[in-house]
Amino acid sequence: MGPGPADADAIVPGPRRATPLRVGALVVDPPVLLAPMAEVTDLAFRTICEEFGAGLTVTEFLSAHALCAGAEKTRRKLRPSAGGRPYGVQLFGREAAPLVRAALLAADSGAALVDLNMGCPARKVVWDGKGQPDATCRGSGAALMLDPDLAVRLVAAVRAALPAAIPLSVKLRSGWDERRKNAPELAPRLGAAGAALVTVHGRTRAQGFGGEVDLETIRQVRAAVPAGIPVCGNGDVVDVESFERMRTATGCDAVMIGRGAIGNPWVFAAIRAHLRGQPPPAPPDRREKLRVLMRHLALCREHEPANVVWEARKLVCRYARGEPGAARLRARAMSMEAIEALTDLACEFFAGNPKPRAD
């Protein structure tokens, strides 16, 4: 039996409850969001995280140009959450016209929130290969923080076009590099242009996903942005302790979890229980991991049948992370070509039993 509420209070200092996040008419309760992640936050993973308690999930980042051009692969990612749950759509680009059209497509799909990506560090998004932005998708993401005036114009254009009931948010990095940490200066301008929520990943573009998260810059953004515009902190939140550290050190109104949720949707259940003052749920054992893995695979079969083998390879490895023998499992899984073999491998690894029914 795990520790009770009194033990949890001793382990995890700080507030136990949190006010629901209000972004325009959208209420996010608990104020814990799943970050948009390329090739990760598909409908199946969003559903799993919603079932474990994420207050809001956001699609993978989608190219505004690709959406406007009718690219089928990108359009397929513009999928509503199951059961009518609210969800957000993240877009990237550096031209107002396609961003506006893509935002309207997102609204038509049922999105409760549209988010503009101004934080992706990937070279193929940031540069055109010659060190200069171009007019399609490159020069987007974190590169927009190098051109604050353009970033502000893009927010204003999308906000003017979106229906009033759908809030617009922006996701930033702390800055381009250590010399150019301009999120505290840029964020208030984006709010004035129409952003109803600002999320800050506390790393620079130069850091990528390495190094420690910079909580101080997130705190500075919260201090700089008017109180009526919530700020969401992002970076290195993997459990209740790091969730509270983010909230306490920055004063942020909500927390976004990215890589800490990959193969670990239980983090949302743990934080939800913490915020409700409930005893912490028991950590998942191997049988629980297998149960959720099979549920995840069933969702992949339903929503991405053409890619289910590739997804199954990734998922088996993600849920096995941290378990003894995970490296050997990965080597075997990545060479398999049939979903049946992959599910049998997962059952052998996690439970040593015949394959259970996926439901």
Q: Does residue 321 sit in the same domain as residue 196?
A: no
Q: Does residue 293 sit in the same domain as residue 268?
A: no
Domain limit, last residue, from 275, 305, 329: 275
Give the pLDDT confidence of 150-170 residue by residue, as tens digits.
Answer: 999 999 999 999 999 999 999
Cβ–Cβ under 8 Å, residues 145 and 118: yes
Q: Does residue 138 sit in the same domain as residue 271?
A: yes
pLDDT of res. 138: 65
Q: Does residue 211 sit in the same domain as residue 311?
A: no
Overall average pLDDT of the 90-111 stretch: 97
Distance CA 312, CA 296 (A): 9
pLDDT of res. 311: 93
Overall average pLDDT of the 177-189 stretch: 96
pLDDT of res. 359: 40
Band (pLDDT 50/70/90 cuts) for residue 194 is very high
Q: What are phi and psi of 172, to 5 degrees?
A: -115, 165
Q: Is 53 left (phi over 0), alpha (psi -120 to 50) or beta?
A: left
Least confident of 14-18, 110-114, 120-124, 175-179: 14-18
Strands 26-28 and 21-23: antiparallel
Q: Looking at the domain assignment, is residue 359 inside a domain?
A: no
Q: Looking at the domain assignment, is residue 281 inside a domain?
A: no
Band (pLDDT 50/70/90 cuts) for residue 14 is very low
Residue 223 has pLDDT above 50, yes or no: yes
Two structure tokens written together for 202: 């506390």
Q: Does residue 126 sit in the same domain as residue 211?
A: yes
Q: What are phi and psi of 6, to 5 degrees?
A: -65, -40
Distance CA 141, CA 138 (A): 8
Least confident of 101-105, 243-247, 307-311: 307-311
Q: Which of 304, 312, 310 is nearest to 76 (CA)?
A: 304
Q: Among the options 49, 68, 120, 137, which is catalytic?
A: 120
pLDDT of res. 306: 84
Q: Does residue 259 sit in the same domain as residue 314?
A: no
Average pLDDT, the chain: 91
- 122 Cβ partners below 8 Å, 6+ apart? 38, 141
Domain limit, last residue, from 210, 241, 275: 275
Residue 356 has pLDDT above 60, yes or no: no
* Percent residues over pLDDT 70 in the chain: 90
Overall average pLDDT of the 194-223 stretch: 96
Cβ–Cβ under 8 Å, residues 250 and 222: yes
pLDDT of res. 8: 36
pLDDT of res. 136: 44
Q: Does residue 203 sit in the same domain as residue 340?
A: no
Q: Looking at the domain assignment, is residue 327 inside a domain?
A: yes
Give the bridge partners for 204, in sequence order. Answer: 175
Give the pLDDT confidence of 111-134 residue by residue, as tens digits.
Answer: 999 999 999 999 889 875 554 443
Least confident of 10-19, 147-156, 251-260: 10-19
Give the domain range for residue 72. 5-275
Distance CA 60, CA 89 (A): 8
Domain limit, last residue, from 275, 299, 318: 275
Q: Does residue 127 sit in the same domain as residue 153?
A: yes
> Is 252 one of the catalytic residues?
no
Q: What are phi and psi of 267, to 5 degrees?
A: -60, -35
**14 vs 343, more confident:** 343
pLDDT of res. 351: 84
Distance CA 50, CA 268 (A): 8
Instruction: Count structural domains, the chain.
Output: 2
pLDDT of res. 234: 98
Helix axes 286-303, 43-51, angle to 10 degrees: 140
Give ∠ CA 310-269-116 in degrees, rounded to 5.
Answer: 65
Band (pLDDT 50/70/90 cuts) for residue 17 is low
